[in-house]
Homo-oligomer: A and B are copies of this chain.
Amino acid sequence: MIRKYEGNPVVKPADVKPSIGGYHVKGALNPGATECNGEILLLLRVAENCEPKKGFVRVPTYRFDAGPARPDIMEWKADDPSIQLKDTRGVVFRGQDYLSTMSHIRLARSRDGFHFTVDEHPFIYPADETEKYGCEDARVTKIGDRYYINYTAVSQDSWATKLAVTKDFRTIERLGFIFHPENKDVAIFPEKVGGLYHALHRPNNSGFGRASIWYAESPDLLHWGNHRCIVRPLNTKWEAMKIGGGAPPIKTKDGWLVIAHGKGEGSLYSIFLVLLDLEQPWKVIKRAERPILTPTEKYETQGFFANVVFSNGVVEKDGELLIYYGAADESSCVAVTRVADLLNSF
């Protein structure tokens, strides 16, 4: 039993104030989620492009040259011979790439988990050249009194996963890259098992197979090793292209419950479940063949990238499990269920 909230989306691009004048919010998607001081917090990925200007090519960028890092607009005359238009990703100017959209992480706050107010300013945004093309898809894991936030840093060196930590969602300490390129979909377990921290991750696979869910362990959350590929895509229409982890695993009596995603035929994204052993989290106990959530609603089947549901944040509240998810790479939604229902759904 899983129910998509009838008021979805809970955050739309129109709810988000642009970072600066001249930026336009295209997406408020793929929210990390947690609870802090009685508030449910979403860590939205906010994707922005530039308001069009006739006769000009404009792209968002970040400047790190003097003073604090800050968003800016690069603008060239459309007939400037030095610019090359690329695919939808952006333009190249004198050998330097500029993307058509730029992402940062923004907080949205709610008391009930369904009605959100979006902060006015970015929370995590590109701070240096290693994040020049954006900060994407945050996950939050609370361990003790600290919230560990991992996110995808995109740069000329490709995409990889960084870690940051906060106690209060006001200040943040950056802890550097924990998984080198090319790796995303990192989900850190909320407690140590066998004296070590654990995470799921999703390295690229440009070789003979398809990208899969990997496992790693760490003595300190900073250094990771003992990598193992633990879940590979099934030969189904739901997982034809690749799979990856989602939200931080949920501890249940039966095992670690993992909310994962599949990219299937026609690039359709859906959400499925995996159950891992409590003591040996690299061991798969059960693995669902069919998804629990697929794109069916208009806000999921139409948008910036149609036919996507993608979860990287869940919150347990009053006996219910709130599964937050990005819809159509454009908005943020919630589905309501119970852990017991998910365990029974395998």
- Quick check: is A177 within 8 A (CB to CB) of the other chain? yes
Query: Do A225 and B227 have beta carbons less than 8 Å apart?
Result: no
Query: Hey, which chain B residues are within 8 Å of A201, CB to CB?
Result: 180
- A interface secondary structure, majority: strand
Shortest Cβ distance from A133 into B: residue: B208
Residues of A152-191 at the interface with B, using a CB-CB cut-off of 8 Å, are 154-160, 176-183
- Quick check: is A207 within 8 A (CB to CB) of the other chain? yes
Shortest Cβ distance from A183 into B: residue: B180
User: Cα distance A222–B216 when bound, in Å?
Assistant: 11
- Quick check: is A217 within 8 A (CB to CB) of the other chain? yes
- Quick check: is A19 within 8 A (CB to CB) of the other chain? no
Which of the residues B157, B176, B212 comes within 8 Å of A225, measured between beta carbons? Answer: B176
Query: Do A204 and B158 have beta carbons less than 8 Å apart?
Result: yes
| Interface-central residue, A179, A180, A217, by most chain B CB under 10 Å | A180
Q: Separation in Å of the A223 CB from the closest CB of chain B?
A: 4
Query: Do B158 and A182 have beta carbons less than 8 Å apart?
Result: no
- Mask for A128-150, Cβ within 8 A of B = 1, else 0? 00100100000000000000000
Query: Do B179 and A209 have beta carbons less than 8 Å apart?
Result: no
Shortest Cβ distance from A98 into B: residue: B208
Q: Separation in Å of the A85 CB from the closest CB of chain B?
A: 15
- Quick check: is A220 within 8 A (CB to CB) of the other chain? yes
Query: Hey, which chain B residues are within 8 Å of A345, CB to CB?
Result: none
Residues of A181-240 at the interface with B, using a CB-CB cut-off of 8 Å, are 181-183, 201, 203-209, 212, 214, 216-220, 222-229, 232, 235
Shortest Cβ distance from A129 into B: residue: B229
Q: Separation in Å of the A83 CB from the closest CB of chain B?
A: 16
Q: Separation in Å of the A102 CB from the closest CB of chain B?
A: 13
User: Cα distance A220–B217 when bound, in Å?
Assistant: 13
Which of the residues B130, B133, B158, B222 comes within 8 Å of A205, measured between beta carbons? Answer: B158
Query: Do B204 and A206 have beta carbons less than 8 Å apart?
Result: yes
7 contacts between A and B (CB under 8 A): A95-B235, A157-B205, A158-B206, A158-B209, A180-B183, A181-B204, A219-B223
Known A158-B206, A178-B227; 11 more pairs at CB < 8 Å: A130-B229, A157-B203, A176-B226, A177-B227, A180-B216, A182-B206, A204-B204, A219-B223, A223-B224, A223-B226, A224-B225
